């Protein structure tokens, strides 16, 4: 038996903050829910939901790329500082591992790394949302076909 411990599984609510600082909170169970009694409306809303969440995902992917670039740039800037600091500290020829170790101990770098990790997490979560919306589309198609078949069956029964 393997015990897997996780900090928090509450990602059913997502808060989106726009450029003006206004936020909108979404309950993902409501976003992904299908009202079987109003399939026509659900089918109409599906494309806009998909486009909205796909766009959010792409924006977050852009932020992730920027965070990764900033992290790499910072690491490059700290490389020379690390080398000079290690030489001044008595290490005549610092190895790459020593330099990398020094960089990893810098708070500025760990903050940049944490930022990148956070965006990676957001990208993964939003990827699951978009995939769920794709599955939702398939379910809507299947439910519509089932409802249509059921209506035809009921019509044929009445005509007997």
Flag whether 94 is in a domain. yes
Q: What does pLDDT average to over the chain?
A: 92
Residue 13: pLDDT band (50, 70, 90) is confident
Flag whether 107 is in a domain. yes
Flag whether 15 is in a domain. no
Q: How many domains does the chain have?
A: 1
Q: What is the DSSP letter of 8?
A: -
Flag whether 146 is in a domain. yes
Nearest one of 101, 110, 124 to 71, comparing CA atoms: 110
User: According to the model, what pLDDT value does residue 87 have?
Assistant: 96
Flag whether 1 is in a domain. no
| 120-to-79, 83, 113 alpha-carbon distances in Å | 24, 30, 11
Q: Is 61 left (phi over 0), alpha (psi -120 to 50) or beta?
A: alpha
Domain that holds residue 107: 50-155
Q: What is the pLDDT of residues 60-83, one digit of tens each?
A: 999 999 999 999 999 999 999 999
Q: What is the pLDDT of residues 23-39, one digit of tens each?
A: 999 999 999 999 988 99
| 86-to-49, 74, 95, 109, 154 alpha-carbon distances in Å | 54, 18, 10, 17, 82
Q: What is the DSSP letter of 159?
A: T
Flag whether 126 is in a domain. yes
- pTM comes to 0.81
Flag whether 8 is in a domain. no
């Amino acid at each position: 038996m393997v015990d897997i411990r996780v900090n928090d599984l509450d990602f059913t609510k997502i808060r989106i903050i726009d450029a003006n600082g206004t936020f909108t909170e979404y309950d993902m169970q409501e976003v992904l829910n299908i009202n079987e009694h109003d399939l026509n409306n659900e089918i109409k809303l599906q494309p806009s939901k998909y486009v909205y969440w796909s766009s959010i995902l792409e924006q977050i992917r852009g932020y992730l790329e920027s965070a990764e670039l900033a992290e790499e740039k910072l690491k490059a800037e700290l490389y020379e500082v690390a080398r000079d600091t290690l030489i001044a500290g008595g290490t005549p020829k610092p190895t790459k591992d020593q330099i990398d170790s020094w960089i990893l101990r810098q708070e500025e770098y760990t903050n940049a790394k944490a930022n990148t990790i956070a965006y990676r997490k957001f990208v993964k979560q939003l990827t699951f949302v978009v995939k769920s919306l794709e599955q939702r589309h398939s379910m809507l198609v299947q439910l519509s076909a089932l409802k249509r078949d059921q209506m035809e069956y009921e019509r044929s029964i009445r005509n007997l």
